[in-house]
Amino acid sequence: MTLHREGTPTILLVTTLVVLINTGVCYATANTLVMGLTLFITTGFWLFILSFFRIPSRVHTIQEGAVIAPADGEVVVIEEVQADEYFTDRRIQVSIFMSPLNVHVNRNPISGQVVYSQYHPGKYLVAWHPKSSTENERHSVVYNTQGKEILVKQIAGALAKRIVNYLKPGQQVKQTEEMGFIKFGSRVDLLLPLDAKILVKLGDKPQGGVTVLATL
């Protein structure tokens, strides 16, 4: 397991705060119980921050015609919707909710060309709110593979205040490589063609870069 580069500023800040807090408590009191409790709480928080930015070692799934999960989390939506961005037709929406305990690296679900990449400022509704897909801060990417297009939308949640996306229009990308990162609780939506075969169900917990969500 390694740590994601997006976590470097946060990890350094939290490490500094943990050291300062514990040093201050040591100077302020000789009570070993207070010092021990402070060390326990701050160390636990520090370990949580480290785990949030973790990149676990995995064997990624490379499969032509398959849509691989772009994120870890829980499948909370599978439904036919009217597309409201880029597409004008109806699509199958598959949404994955990412809790603060999930791995937050986002990966390309397919190989192909990036034909659209757009950031949208917005609100910070809880990620499972139905309107979070259209009203929250988000970044949308459309991939084209052999004439078929899918949209992946990174959506900020109540805790997420920064979406990172590395993709630009015209860029050729490979399946399961990094597309971006969302800091803290968030959600990822996929808009797939109506003829896509969905291979997951509500409540499933896919692994980013590993689980096959659908086939095109």
Catalytic (active site) residue 186: yes
Q: How far is CA 108 from each of CA 128, 134, 195, rounded to the nearest angstrom?
A: 22, 21, 20
Q: Are strands 138-145 and 112-120 parallel, antiparallel or unpaired?
A: antiparallel
Virtual torsion, Cα 105, 109, 115, 117, nearest 10 deg:
-20
Q: Could you tell me if 188 and 71 are in contact, meaning their C-beta atoms sit under 8 angstroms apart?
A: yes
Helix (H, G, I), strand (E, B) or coil at 65: coil
Contacts of 13 (CB under 8 A, 6+ apart): none
Which active-site residues does the annotation give? Answer: 186
